[in-house]
Amino acid sequence: MTLSDTAPPPAGDAPPAGPPVADVDPPPPPVDPAEQLAVRQEQFRSVAVEVTVWIGKTRRTLGELAQLRPGDVIELDTTLGTPVEILLNREVAIARGEVVDVGDQYGVRITEIVSDSKD
């Protein structure tokens, strides 16, 4: 390679024009962090999550389970009136409550909101 290979083209020889450059909008002004948090919280309000209420459990052998028939009752370890946990995505306890009758379905009356804070 010679020095003339790297020199700029003579004044009359303009380099080939590239593609046209699009106008670019200026960046938006900075957002207030409190306002940004409020927007994010509002977005989270529309996210659907699974809520589960475990009313009890028991242990049975596979043989006992194989013998179950319609009408059989499986007794649970929870007594009537015992508070039940309300779980978010089957893992995180968010509240406790009591099972109530809502027409021909069950519901849970909230008695306590669970908090992770160490008061």
* CATH, residue 92: 2.30.330.10
* CA dihedral angle for residue 24, residue 29, residue 31, residue 32, rounded to 10 degrees: 170
The total number of structural domains that make up the chain: 1
The answer to whether residue 110 is domain-embedded is yes
What pLDDT band is residue 118 in, cutting at 50, 70 and 90?
low
More confident residue, 18 or 81: 81
The answer to whether residue 12 is domain-embedded is no
Taking 80 as the threshold, does the pLDDT of residue 102 lie above it?
A: yes
Taking 60 as the threshold, does the pLDDT of residue 3 lie above it?
A: no
More confident residue, 12 or 103: 103
Query: Going edge to edge, which strands form the sheet with 51-54?
Result: 51-54, 84-88, 92-102, 105-113
Looking at the DSSP bridge assignments, the partners of residue 48 are: none
DSSP element (H, E) containing 66: helix 62-66
Which is it for the CA torsion 48, 53, 59, 62, positive or negative?
negative
Instruction: Determine the structural domain holding residue 119 and report its residue range.
Output: 49-119
The answer to whether residue 7 is domain-embedded is no
pLDDT of residue 30: 76
What six digits make up the tokens of 56? 């009890």
